[in-house]
Structure 1
Amino acid sequence: MFIRAYLRASTKDQDADRARADLIRFAADRGMSIASFYVENESGAKLSRPELFRLLDDAQPGDVLLVEQVDRLSRLTSRDWDKLKALIAAKGVRVVALDLPTSHQLIQPGDEFTSRMLGALNGMMLDMLAAIARKDYEDRRRRTQQGIERAKAEGRFTGRRPNAKRHEAVAKLLRQGLSWSEVEATTGASRSTVARIARGVKAPAE
């Protein structure tokens, strides 16, 4: 059995690696260590997440997928959550989350009956927390949109302010002749941001 830790943050401005120490401590308290870490900055509302799927590709039956919170694994719609659950089940991977106490015993070997009972209970709790995480995601999006609409109505909405320092770095690298992909990798800017800045800079496109 290998413990594979999954760390996620929604944007490149957030620290996806923030919970690494907590996951290491959790495993160490149980006399175990984490075999590998999979870290990415992607929305939990997206099913397509390269590092998560790399983890599942690497995993073998009985391995543990360790996360800080269930919402690090999923803020998915019920349909996409069902797809992810099916893949996890097909791989024979056990999900353990620090915020889900019913899952903690799954990190320790046990008899078949106990493992099945804990697995069934953990599955129900996972479903509940995944649904709560999705609702929280939708509620926050709705509140944000309501705030934008209110600001527009009051003439206060100016849109998202550009990151001047990143803009300058992107423009500089483009002028030096780096490709769009190299600029993305170096600065963390999105493809659309690089494309927008490139329109005002003499640089080769891809």
Structure 2
Amino acid sequence: MFIRAYLRASTKEQDATRAKLDLTRFADERGLKIAATYIENETGSTLKRPELFRLLSDCQPGDVLLVEQVDRLSRLNTEDWSKLKAEITAKRVRVVALDLPTSHQLAQQGDEFSSRMLDAINGMMLDMLAAIARKDYEDRRRRQAQGIQNAKSRGAFKGRPEDEKRNAALTAMLKSKQSWASIVAATGVSTSTLARLAKRIREEETAI
């Protein structure tokens, strides 16, 4: 049995490794060692998380997927959570979350009957916490949208400040006829940002 730690944060500005010490302490207290750590900065509301699926690909039956909280694993909608859970079940991976005490015993080897009972109980608790995590995500998105709408109605919403230095460099790359693919590969910028800057360049050239 291998313990595989999964660390996730939603944005590149957040520290995905923040909980690493807590996960290590949890393993040490039980005489266990974390065999591998998988770190990524992706939203929990999508299945597009390459490190999570690399972890599952590396797993053997009986391995433990260790997370700080269930919401680090999932803020998925019902359909996507079912897909992820099916993948976890097919790989026979045990999910252990620090915020889910019923899962802690799964980090230890036990007899088949006890393991199956714990798996059943833990599965129900995982479903419940995953649903709560999704509701929290949707509530925050709704409050954020309401706040933006209220600010717009007052004329107070300015949007995210433009990164002028970055955009100037991207504009220069676009003007030098570099391909969008090469710019994305080199900078990690989104194609929507490039589209907005390309439109601005066209408008400026038309105005001249």
Bucket of the pairwise TM-score, normalised by the shorter protein = 0.7 to 0.9
Query: Partners of 1:21 and 1:177 in 2: how far apart?
Result: 46
Deviation at 1:188, TM superposition (A): 4.4
Matches of 2:197 and 2:162, distance apart in 1: 11
> Gapped runs of 5+ residues in structure 2?
202-208
1:109 is aligned to: 109
Residues 165/26 of structure 1: CA separation in 2 closer, same or farther (3 Å cut): farther
Would you say the 8 A contact 1:166–1:189 is kept in 2? Answer: no
Does the Cα contact within 8 Å between 1:10 and 1:44 map onto a contact in 2?
yes
Amino acid at match of 1:54: R
The structure that has the greater radius of gyration is: 2
Aligned-pair identity in percent equals 68
- What does residue 130 of structure 1 align with? 130
Partner of 2:30: 30
Query: Relative to 1, partners in 2 of residues 1:196 and 1:61: Cα closer, same or farther, differing over 3 Å?
Result: same
State how 1:44-59 maps to structure 2 within 5 Å. Answer: 44-59=44-59
Work out whether residues 166 and 187 of structure 1, in 8 Å CA contact, stay in contact via their aligned partners in 2: no
For 1:39-188, what aligned pairs fall within 5 Å after superposition?
39-168=39-168, 170=170, 180=180, 183-184=183-184, 187-188=187-188
Residues 91, 181 of structure 1: CA spacing in aligned structure 2 closer, same or farther, 3 A cutoff?
same
Relative to structure 2, which stretch is displaced further, 180-189 or 153-162? Answer: 180-189
RMSD (Å), alpha carbons? 2.2
Displacement after TM superposition at 1:36 (Å): 1.1
- Aligned residue number for residue 206 of structure 2: none
TM-aligned CA distance change 1:195 to 1:107, over 3 Å: same
Separation in 2, partners of 1:70, 1:53: 16
- Letter of the structure 1 residue corresponding to residue 163 of structure 2: N
> CA shift at 1:95, angstroms?
0.3
Normalised to the residue count of structure 1, the TM-score between the two structures is 0.86
Alignment coverage as a number of residue pairs: 201
Which consecutive unaligned segments of at least 5 residues does structure 1 have?
A: 202-206
Q: Report how far residue 112 of structure 1 moved.
A: 1.1
CA distance in 2, matches of 1:137, 1:57: 27
Q: Is the contact between residue 64 and residue 96 of structure 1 (CA under 8 Å) also seen in structure 2?
A: yes
Distance 1:26 1:169 in 2: 45
**TM-score, structure 2 length as denominator?**
0.86
Deviation at 1:152, TM superposition (A): 1.3
Q: Is the 8 A contact 1:169 1:187 kept in 2?
A: no
